Chains A and B, each alone.
Chain A
Amino acid sequence: MILMAIVIGCILGAVIGIYAPLVPYTYSGYLAIAIIAALDSVFGGIAATLKKNFDLKVFVTGFFGNAILSILLTFLGEKLNVDIYLAAIVVFVGRMFNNLAIIRRYYLSKWTSKKQENEQVESAEKTEETSK
């Protein structure tokens, strides 16, 4: 059910994005940093789901909060003539890598344990056959 909602949401979003008007190039930098922040939240959400401590409220607030905060920081950086957006990118991308590592390890350990279980079952079957 939730997978269906995600797929429908992605397709609808893509269609809306394709037919939406162009964003002025001046603001596209803000949009890019907001996308990175949102993607960080998405990967964080997936990692939290795997750890079984996913909280929708945390996810939603993180998704919008991070995006808005990163836009504001970029705006502030532009006013101060400091590239603050670089710091935001480093943090978000670093966290994305961490979350991806968590997801990878989870599936890797799951796959390894499944393989071990299969091997154990096979060895048990073999010992049963030999005892017969």
Chain B
Amino acid sequence: MKKESKNAIIINVIISAMCIILFAVMFMQFKTVEETDITAIENMRETELRTAISEWKGKYEEAEEQLQTNKKSITEYLETIENSGTTSSLIDKDLEESNMKLGKANIYGEGIELTLSNTDSHVIDTYDLIDLVNELRYAGAEAISINDVRVLSYTSISQPQDGLTIIGEQRVTAPFVVKAIRKPNIFIK
């Protein structure tokens, strides 16, 4: 009887020890899988690494292509320097274009001038101005200004309250004088 009870205790201890081991390992694994960042390179599987490498290879090739294009243009510039004095005009043209796009230079030329005034039936709001600016830009406007405030690609047009419109950081009020320049002038068409 004593031996039997001893055996039963041993069996219970062994089985509970096995349960402890099994569940401890299982929960450790659950925790590891849950907390490991599988997107990290160190934890990627072979196939995932292959895909990542091929992606990076594509990006590298693109960058390499861009580098070659840049090198080519540098060589062209150098050649122009050696051959003639037209480089400065070439660079000046690039600079002028960049300044124009960034709004750092004043632009003169042919274009259109629109005056938008409020009427009894319609009050000009920011949406009208935004639509107009977008339309002018699609039509090829190189420079746009509203009440002599330059409107660039990053200029915001907002209306925090009725009757007050802010373009960039300046307040403007109706009537809105919209000027747009395009070379050659094709707005008339």
Contact = CB atoms under 8 A, between A and B. Distances in A.
9 contacts: A6-B15, A12-B23, A13-B25, A22-B28, A22-B31, A22-B32, A28-B29, A31-B28, A35-B26
B33 A28 contact: yes
Contacts of A80: none
A73 B87 CA distance: 70
A31 B24 contact: no
Interface string B135-155: 000000000000000000000
Contacts of A13: 19-27
Interface string A24-46: 01001001101100110010000
Interface in A1-33: 1-2, 4-6, 8-14, 16-18, 20, 22-23, 25, 28, 31-32
Contacts, number: 98
A4 B8 CA distance: 13
Determine chain B's interface SS by DSSP, over half rule.
helix
Interface string B28-41: 11111101101000
Contacts of B32: 22-23, 25, 28, 31
A35 B43 CA distance: 20
Interface of A: 1-2, 4-6, 8-14, 16-18, 20, 22-23, 25, 28, 31-32, 34-35, 38-39, 42, 56, 60, 63
Nearest to B29: A31
Contacts of B123: none
B18 A60 contact: yes
A60 B18 CA distance: 8
Contacts of A11: 23
Nearest to A2: B12
